[in-house]
Chain A
């Protein structure tokens, strides 16, 4: 079941599966997710590490450099199925139609080339412009992302920028060819909280100015709450919940989302006894027991009904989740989960 906006979606992912063949068996990193990204929309994908959020977007662009990786499903972008394109055709799209920003700005740029060189390289890979013209555009871009003294800084090396500045350079580079889709994989995780806010604001400004869609991958609900139009919650390679930001943040449906929300200190003044940490550890991707709701082993409300894997159900328009708990009881159950101190074994008072 996929979401659709009024117009034709920019990116239409259908039943995407990414698995890795290892010596101890097959690991399903992404296990059949479907979603769309509309034009000009900001989609937030939230999940813990191991939830498959990064792998899914990397596979969209064919950036997984592992011969033991198998990608199945359909990824329709501007009428083409990206998964059926070979590397040469994908190169047309990478950096030009779909650009990526990665998590660690410290290691994202080849250290022996200047910022201007990097941006020029990307521009000239897609457009026939002279080095001088590309260089000039690089200066403009650095300026647009808020780097002071851009004409000098364009000749600086990556290590000469601070973390936040370096991430701005990467963003400038990503936007250099006016992509219709920007994928940002944990763009602020490696940065200070104060810098985080700046980068997110930058992304928001650029998005409204350039009109690109953004897929924002993060494990931090706070980041998602600031930026997204819609939110996907992933767990264990599957979709747990999906919906518009306001609705999802106000009335989250899935117990996993409650857990994620519970770990944000509420800003509306209510005090909780303890911040609820989700008990247990993230799912082990090589665990073969997958014919159930993968969150059930950590869920305070798990029961036998959690087998087999519940399907995605659209309870309210645009808002879906994959849980068997009765829809009308969710708010009450959520309150219970928030205010109950759960122990490690899951027993509740």
Chain B
């Protein structure tokens, strides 16, 4: 068991290393792309470009640059931003973490509950009108561009109906939990709902699909033959078996979101989370921050994969002894 975990950990580290190299290569080694020009801005003069190259160490060979940056990031832990000279990267990331966590965890609670209710109801009432209605709701949730939805929500809550129904909605931005649960939750309410719409749609459909499939299995017929009530059959037998796939998917999505995949939501609602940090750094070609953010995101994806594999074994006893 430990050897298995050890091998997976090693593979994960290799993947992270590969990603760090990949990011570096994308930004610094793509033919036709000059990072100095990006940083210096368009129409920079040759002297400016040379200055930029020198001060950012861009005239060094790529491997040296890579080594230097990685050393600053992991060993010296004093990596500084290209754009805000002197601003350290790691504290920036650390400040952004609670914002993203607040957004993702809150949204996750909402969408999980929504998806469970929708999926179970759609299965319980399959064959009636309830089922296709729920499916269509799910499809709509999946099809609304999340950033567009956020903007529309803003339009309604911040502008059009701000003086009437939505006067209580605070202006955009993040308020720390230390300033009180109320303000924190209020500021996050609509970002939570916007993000939850998308994921509730995905998960309601997956759950329904799994559960409807499970209801056709022999063990459901056996459960009924035991004299068990239909709701218990649905929840204890069909739902429990369907959770195997759903929880695995959830783990992967949740990991990606914590790593900053809620980028668009953060941008639209003005939340300074990891996603927004990543986006800003990408716009500015601020490579140290980019590197830190991408590695942070990839770390969580890899970690999530690992945890999901373990979870899968816990949820599905058939897999345990492999």
Residues of A in contact with B (beta carbons under 8 Å apart): 61, 63, 65, 67, 87, 91-96, 99-100, 102, 104, 107-113, 121-122, 125-126, 157, 159, 170, 173
A-B contact pairs, 12 of them (CB 8 A): A65-B215, A67-B127, A94-B226, A107-B219, A111-B317, A112-B241, A112-B316, A121-B226, A121-B228, A122-B228, A125-B226, A126-B227
With A and B bound together, what is the CA distance between A87 and B240 in angstroms?
A: 23
> How many residues on B have C-beta within 8 angstroms of the other chain's C-beta atoms?
25
Interfacial chain A residues near B220, Cβ < 8 Å: 110
A30 to B315 alpha-carbon distance, docked (Å): 41
Residues 210-224 of B, flagged 1 when their CB comes within 8 A of A and 0 if not, give 000001011111111
Closest to B230 in A: A87
The answer to whether B317 and A93 touch across the interface, beta carbons within 8 angstroms, is no
The distance from the CB of B87 to the nearest CB of chain A, in whole angstroms, is 51
User: Are A96 and B227 also in contact (CB < 8 A) when A110-B241, A112-B317 are?
Assistant: yes
- Minimum Cβ distance to chain B for residue A226 (Å): 25
CB–CB A63/B224 < 8 A: yes
Q: Are A104 and B226 in contact (CB under 8 A)?
A: no
**B219, B222, B228, B230: which contacts A125 (Cβ < 8 A)?**
B228
Q: How far is the CB of B243 from chain A (nearest CB, A)?
A: 9
Q: Is B162 an interface residue (CB 8 A)?
A: no
User: Are B224 and A112 touching (Cβ within 8 A)?
Assistant: no
Closest Cβ neighbor of B219 among chain A residues: A110
B217 touching A107, Cβ below 8 Å: yes
B227 touches A122 (CB 8 A): yes
CA–CA, A102 to B240, complex, Å?
22
B318 contacts A102, C-beta separation under 8 Å? no
CB closest chain-A residue, reference B233: A110
**A93 — nearest CB in chain B belongs to which residue?**
B227
Q: Are A108 and B218 in contact (CB under 8 A)?
A: yes
What residues of chain B lie closer than 8 Å to A91, measured between beta carbons?
227-229
Bound Cα distance A63, B220 (Å) = 10
Interface centre among B215, B224, B226, B228, by most A CB within 10 Å?
Answer: B226
Q: How far is the CA of A159 from the CA of B230 in the complex (A)?
A: 25
Once the chains bind, are B127 and A65 in contact (CB under 8 Å)?
Answer: no
* Residue B237 CB within 8 A of the other chain: yes
A110 to B219, CA, bound (A): 5
User: How far in angstroms is the closest Cβ of chain A from B289?
Assistant: 45
Say whether B165 faces chain A, with CB atoms less than 8 Å apart: no
Closest to A183 in B: B225
Q: Are B240 and A112 in contact (CB under 8 A)?
A: yes
Residues of A within 8 A of B317 (CB): 111-112, 157, 159
CB distance from A214 to the nearest CB of B (A): 15
| Docked-complex contact A61 and B225, CB < 8 angstroms | yes
Within 8 A of A (CB), among B74-100: none
Q: Are B241 and A111 in contact (CB under 8 A)?
A: yes
Contact B227–A108 (Cβ < 8 Å): no
